[in-house]
Structure 1
Amino acid sequence: MNRTTVAVKKPARWADAVPAREAQFETKRRALVREAARAFGRRGFHNTSLEEIAEALGVTKPALYRYVRTKHEILHEAKSIAFDSGAKAREMAFAASEDPIERLRLYIIHYIDLVTSELGSYAVLAEPVTSLPPEYADPIRARMREADRALRDMVQSAMDAGFIPAGDPKLSVAFFMGAINHIARWYTPDGPLTGREIGEIFAGFVLNGLRGPGPQPT
């Protein structure tokens, strides 16, 4: 009896190939944003051209246009990375502890660590949203409101649990995020402290400030 062998055609592995190309594209785009952030930090957003960013990356300007179209798109992407880092920091803090004050401490440490490692030099984050046209500024403002609400809830939980005195969570968040965001003015990855070390120091400053002065010696 003759047996006929039927060759089974293997399906094309689109599921494997497409994500690999997309991941490669995203990796290069992130590298571009990091280099642009460094350039903006050195020279300022308005004083840095796409030509200078392309030169720093060792690519032509047409090659650069494969990943971004304008400086505004780069600034929007850098700010989006910062908000992604904030969301991840909150997630890590909530996964690690049920203690409201410990969650706040961990959030500060993780946020500073993540945003400095992601962007290298994140002075670009000090650039105001008003530098962006509406199509980029509006989504960023929406994320700012979302992040602010989440942090106010964290502070309110610490107040409700009695870890810090009752007060206005809005002002508390403005106090410590203003200090944290000011790091963008002076931080450099070549400095003596890592992002995580700065985060741990700032977390101590913030919690001590929110708790207020302790008993005064007589």
Structure 2
Amino acid sequence: MARKAIVRDEVVRAATRLFKERGIRGVSLQDIADEVGLTKGALYHYFSNRDDLLRHVFGDWITREFEALREHTSGSESATAKLRDYVRYHVSSVVNNVDLYSLSFSSEMEIPPDIRAKFRRLKRQSDEVLKEILRQGMADGELEARDEKVIAFAIDGMCNWLFQWYTPEGPKSAAEIADDFIDLLLRGLLRNDSSGPVETDRQHDAVGRAEYHARAIRFHSERLEQLLPGLASSD
């Protein structure tokens, strides 16, 4: 990597750290130059002004993250597999960019308007990736038919909030936390065995189970209808 690129990356990391500690408005270019051992004049060889630096801190980051998200969720066919890929990547993204996630939520209004608009646009596109996964799963019968917008907000909120409490020294790794999130999404909290707690509304619970099994029967019946002709022709 060329020296200029190395210095630019070092400046971006230092700026991100200072922005988190003092807030975006509380950090000057001189502060950032001092942090990386440059003169303020030398800093202009890498960034034309403070807004240009902010564009690289936020704009480049969110663009890279969105492109990587699309790549990580495009390799699987089933919606369930895509949902797992989405959650794993989102959790990894947060824990590897805690400072940037913290700034994006706490100091968004201090970001230059054009970068803020780009950030919001890419965030909407990211939300749409998740909602499309949910719609696919509901259409295919893999997932419960619910409001995909509400579910998408719940999933993103669960993952995003890691910036508030995750620590690398914690009892669980990012991968283990992602697996916990996935298990919660796909299985829920209620126990399905007979030793579980008795529901307060047994009739409602029985109807819910019957509807679930009816959907499962329809789903597997459709899959059998698709598979049987191919199996018969192979005999």
User: Alignment partner of 1:164: what SS?
Assistant: coil
106-115 or 51-60, larger mean C-alpha shift: 106-115
Which digits, 9 at most, give the CA deviation of each residue in 1:82-138, with x for residues without a partner? 34223213312322x222122222222223324544x47332222444323333222
Amino acid at match of 1:46: R
Residue 192 (structure 1) aligned with residue 136 (structure 2) = no
Closer, same or farther: CA 94–193 of 1 in aligned 2, 3 Å: farther
- CA distance in structure 2 between the partners assigned to 1:35 and 1:73 by the alignment: 15
Structure 1 contact 73–136 (Cα < 8 Å) conserved: no
Tell me, yes or no, if the aligned pair for 1:165 and 1:210 is still in contact at 8 Å.
no
Asked if structure 1 preserves the Cα contact closer than 8 Å seen for 2:66 and 2:122, the reply is: no
Paired residue secondary structure (1:94): coil
Q: State the shift of 1:167 in Å.
A: 1.3
Sequence identity percentage: 27
Distance 1:48 1:116 in 2: 24
Which residue does 1:167 correspond to in 2?
146
What residue number does 2:180 align with? 204
SS in structure 2 of the partner of residue 121 of structure 1? helix
- The answer to which structure has the higher helix fraction is 2
**2-structure distance, mates of 1:210, 1:128:** 33
The aligned residue for residue 64 of structure 1 is 43
Alignment partners' CA distance in 2, 1:184 and 1:78? 17
Greater RCO, 1 or 2 (C-alpha within 8 Å, sep 6+): 1
Alignment match, 1:91: 71
The separation in 2 between residues aligned to 1:151 and 1:213, in whole angstroms, is 22
Which residue of the partner structure matches residue 99 of structure 2? Answer: 121
Distance in 1 between the 2:98 and 2:160 partners?
A: 15
State yes or no: 1:157 paired with 2:133.
no
Quick one: which of 45, 62, 72 aligns to 1:82? Answer: 62
**Residue correspondences, number:** 192
Tell me the residue number matched to 1:146: 125
Distance 1:47 1:25 in 2: 26
Q: Does structure 2 conserve the Cα–Cα contact (< 8 Å) formed by 1:72 and 1:133?
A: yes
Two-structure CA RMSD over aligned residues (Å): 3.0
SS of residue paired to 2:77: coil
* Offset at residue 141 of structure 1 (A): 2.5
Contact persistence 2:134–2:148 (CA under 8 A): yes
TM-score by length of 2: 0.67
Identify unmatched segments of 5+ residues in structure 2. 199-235
SS of 1:166 mapped into structure 2: coil
> Partner of 2:219 in structure 1?
none
Deviations 1:56-97 (A, max 9, x none): 2121112222222444433433333134223213312322x2
- Secondary structure of the equivalent of 2:74? helix
Structure 1 residues 76, 176: CA separation in 2 closer, same or farther (over 3 Å shift)?
farther
1:173 maps to a residue whose letter is: A
Give the distance between the partners of 1:72 and 1:210, measured in 2 at CA. Answer: 43
Deviation at 1:169, TM superposition (A): 1.5
Amino acid at match of 2:152: V
* 1:28 Cα deviation from its structure 2 partner: 3.1
Q: Which runs of 5+ in 1 are unaligned?
A: 1-19
Contact 2:74 2:82 in 1 (8 A): yes
Structure 1 CA distance, aligned partners of 2:49 and 2:142? 46
TM-score by length of 1: 0.71
Aligned equivalent of 1:14: none
Structure 1 position 182 matched with structure 2 position 158: no
Rounded Cα–Cα distance in structure 1 between residues aligned with 2:64 and 2:54: 14
